[in-house]
Amino acid sequence: MELSGSVKRQRRVVVFDYGFGNVRSAERALARAGADVEITRDFETAMNADGLLVPGVGAFAACMKGLTEARGDWIVDRRLAGGRPVMGICVGMQILFARGIEHGVESEGLAEWPGSVEPLQADIVPHMGWNTVEAPAGSELFAGLDADARFYFVHSYAVHDWTLQTANPAMAQPRVTWSTHGKPFVAAVENGVLWATQFHPEKSGDAGAQLLTNWIGTL
C-alpha cells in the first residue's frame, strides 16, 4: 500500500544467499538505489519480499545444486506463479534457462525460459570487461540510459539463441537485449515479472545503478 502524498514505502529486496554470488556487492548497490535490502536464504523472507535478486558466480551445475539445496528453485517458481518480481544476475540469469552445457556436460536449469547456455563463440574467452548492449524499444530496464552505456561482463558461457514467443498476441512479448563478443548473445531479458542480466549491474557504475533503480521502481 502506497503512503499518501509523494512519500512512498521503501521497497524490500532479498538477495538470495545460496552460496554462489557477490551478495555483498549486490546488497550495497541495491541499497544505493533506494531499496531496503536483506541477504538471506530464509524461505518466508524470500517469498514475501517485494523483489528477489538471484546472483550467481561459478559453474552452472554447481549454482543449480546450491540453489536447489536452499529451496531457491521452489521459491523462484512460486514467486513467479504469484506475480512476484524476480531478477537474476550473471549465472543467476543463466540458470533460468532450460539447460547449461559446460565441458560437454549438460545440466538442467530452472526452465523458466527455453534455450541452452553454451560456451561463448569468440577468440578471447572469458568475456571480461566493459561492453555495450542493444536494448529493445520500450525497455523499462534500460530506461533513461544512453545507447552507448557500458556494462561490466565476466562470463565464458551465454545464450546465443532466443526462441520464446508469447502465443497470445494480446500479451506483451519478452524484451530481449543483446550484446556481442564474437557472436551476439543474450545480455538481458524482461519477461513479465522475471528480469535478468548476463552482466553485473552492481559492478557497472552509474549505468548499473540506474538499471537497478529502474527495477526497484517497478516493484
Distance, in Å, from the CA atom of 46 to the CA atom of 55, rounded to the nearest integer, reads 14
Cell of 181: 563478443
Tell whether 3 is covered by a domain.
Answer: no
Cell of 44: 518466508
pLDDT value, residue 3: 42
Q: How far is CA 8 from the centre of its chain?
A: 25
* 105 in a structural domain: no
* Residue 192 belongs to a domain: yes
How many domains does the chain fold into? 1
In this structure, the strands spanning 157-158 and 150-155 are unpaired
Domain that holds residue 194: 12-100+111-217
CA distance 77 to 126: 30
- pTM for this model (two decimals): 0.93
User: Is the pLDDT at 109 greater than 60, yes or no?
Assistant: yes
**Phi and psi, residue 71, nearest 5°:** 65, 20
Strand-strand pairing, 105-108 and 97-102: antiparallel
> With 80 as the cut, is the pLDDT of residue 172 above it?
no
Any domain includes 52: yes
Angstrom distance (rounded) from CA 120 to CA 110: 21
54 closest CA partner among 44, 40, 36, 33: 40
List the CATH number of the domain containing 52. 3.40.50.880
Q: What is residue 5's predicted lDDT score, i.e. its pLDDT? A: 45
Rounded Cα gap, residues 202 and 134, in angstroms: 19
- The answer on pLDDT for 103 being more than 90 is no
Structural domain contains residue 66? yes
9 pLDDT tier (thresholds 50, 70, 90) = confident
Q: Is there a domain that residue 196 lies in?
A: yes
Give the integer Cα–Cα distance in Å for 62 and 69: 11
Domain annotation covers residue 5:
no
Domain assignment present for 43: yes
Active site (catalytic) residues: 90, 200, 202
126 prior amide bond cis, ω within 30:
yes
